Amino acid sequence: MKLSRILQIIALVIALIAIYFFVKVATAEEGSEKLASAVSGSIGFTKWLLIGVGLLVAAFMVLDVVKHPKNLKKTLIGLGIFLLLFLLAYMISDDGAVETSNGVVEAGSSLSKRVSTGINFSMILGAIAFFGFIFDSVKSLLK
């Protein structure tokens, strides 16, 4: 059996499981124990799927580095730049506690710092992608 056929079968099984959880969540009454159970199962499935995909990506990355050790330098440079951008996002992030108008603290300073870091990091990467797209478009127009 070809690898592509095996991957199609795996994708079909994952899609069927996702459809099953979608139907369970969609048909449960709001606020019921059935809904809580369906959402919990869906989150558990998603968590294990994400872990599995992450492990596969890590395994293929290691396999690629072993097969092509010359690419390791470029990979480490890219990871270093990625880490520097993350540190920049962390340094410019706000760590103030989030309060409602009543003065109730919704999120502490550490949670606020992590969320702000994620938002800033996404904005930095988005800006790089946007300017890269513009640069590439202008470069192709000038050719």
Mean pLDDT value across residues 91-96:
82
Q: Please state the φ and ψ torsions of residue 99, each to the nearest 5 degrees.
A: -120, 150
Q: Please state the φ and ψ torsions of residue 107, each to the nearest 5 degrees.
A: -145, 135
pTM confidence score: 0.56
Copy the structure tokens of residue 64.
Answer: 């690629």
Length of the chain counted residue by residue: 143
Query: Is 105 in a helix, a strand, or coil?
Result: strand
pLDDT category at 137 given cuts 50, 70, 90 is very high
- Domain positions in the chain: 1-67, 70-143
Instruction: Tell me what pLDDT residue 73 has.
Output: 85
Total Cβ atoms within 10 A of residue 78: 10
Instruction: Tell me what pLDDT residue 99 has.
Output: 64
Residues 6+ apart with CB under 8 A from 10: none
Q: What percent of the chain has pLDDT over 70?
A: 92
Instruction: Tell me what pLDDT residue 100 has.
Output: 65
